[in-house]
Chain A
Amino acid sequence: QVHLVESGGGVVQPGRSLRLSCVVSGFTFSNYGMHWVRQAPGKGLEWVAGIFYDGRNKYYADPVKGRFTISRDTSKNTLFLQLNSLGAEDTAVYYCAKQKLPLATAGPINYWGQGTLVTVSS
């Protein structure tokens, strides 16, 4: 079975940094594009960042460009999201997500983690 398990969330002060991790299992990690999607309390889904299956290309939503960095470590079956210069607007549940089709540059998401909550507050 496919599993995606996020960790690293918590309460952080404005302006500080945090690193989220997502350990995956049940599929060949190096064959799939991966993404981070967040959801602020009571709000809709917001795509945050994506990385190609081979790590060559990375894309970011405008609100996080220049502050967040997505990366992957195939040897550890782990996806990362480095969050810098955090603000209150970044408070959300952050989901790790897997694309449906292998070796594709884009495609729908068919598996999601359970999410990890990031709260930015002084």
Chain B
Amino acid sequence: DIQMTQSPSTLSASVGDRVTITCRASQSISSWLAWYQQKPGKAPKLLIYDASTLESGVPSRFSGSVSGTEFALTITSLQPDDFATYYCQQYNSYSPWTFGQGTKVEIK
């Protein structure tokens, strides 16, 4: 199965900071990767899919990129509502899907 290695596990930042979270796939998944935001007690919310496509209604300060098997989620100017846990997920067809371990973005 494809493994997703997400880092860092925790990130301390301030409002207005630029933050980047990365995920590395254990093998090629093309661009079949999504990023989700989850807040405590809530279901995850889709932010980015196909590595770099912004989901409708998601602020443009969120962006995704890919280079080979390394994927990144960038928040250009962190807002108070952005403090949450973020997960990557690969969805390669005809094989089990996997999530990254998660990154908790905390207030510095």
Contact = CB atoms under 8 A, between A and B. Distances in A.
Interface of A: 35, 37, 44-47, 50, 57, 59-62, 95, 100, 105-110, 112-115
Given A44-B101, A45-B44, A62-B1, A108 B96 contact: no
19 contacts: A44-B100, A46-B99, A47-B96, A47-B99, A50-B96, A50-B97, A59-B94, A62-B1, A95-B43, A105-B93, A105-B94, A106-B32, A106-B92, A106-B93, A108-B34, A108-B46, A108-B50, A109-B44, A115-B43
Interface of B: 1, 32, 34, 36, 38, 43-44, 46, 49-50, 55, 85, 87, 89, 91-102
Given A44-B87, A110-B55, A100 B97 contact: no
Contact of B99 (A45, A107, A112): A45
Given A47-B89, A100-B49, A109 B99 contact: no
A59 B49 CA distance: 21
Task: Determine which residue in A59, A106, A108 has the highest number of CB atoms from chain B within 10 A of its CB, and name it.
Answer: A108
A60 B93 CA distance: 13
Given A108-B34, A110-B55, A112-B43, A44 B99 contact: yes
A64 B89 CA distance: 18
Task: Determine which residue in A35, A45, A57, A115 has the highest number of CB atoms from chain B within 10 A of its CB, and name it.
Answer: A45
Contacts of B44: 45, 109, 112
A114 B85 CA distance: 17
The 3 lowest CB-CB distance pairs between A and B, nearest first, are A112-B43, A108-B49, A108-B34
Contact of B46 (A37, A45, A109, A113): A109
B96 A59 contact: yes
A100 B102 contact: no
Contacts of A60: 96
A113 B43 contact: yes
B53 to A, nearest CB: 9
Task: Determine which residue in A37, A62, A109 has the highest number of CB atoms from chain B within 10 A of its CB, and name it.
Answer: A109
Nearest to A4: B43
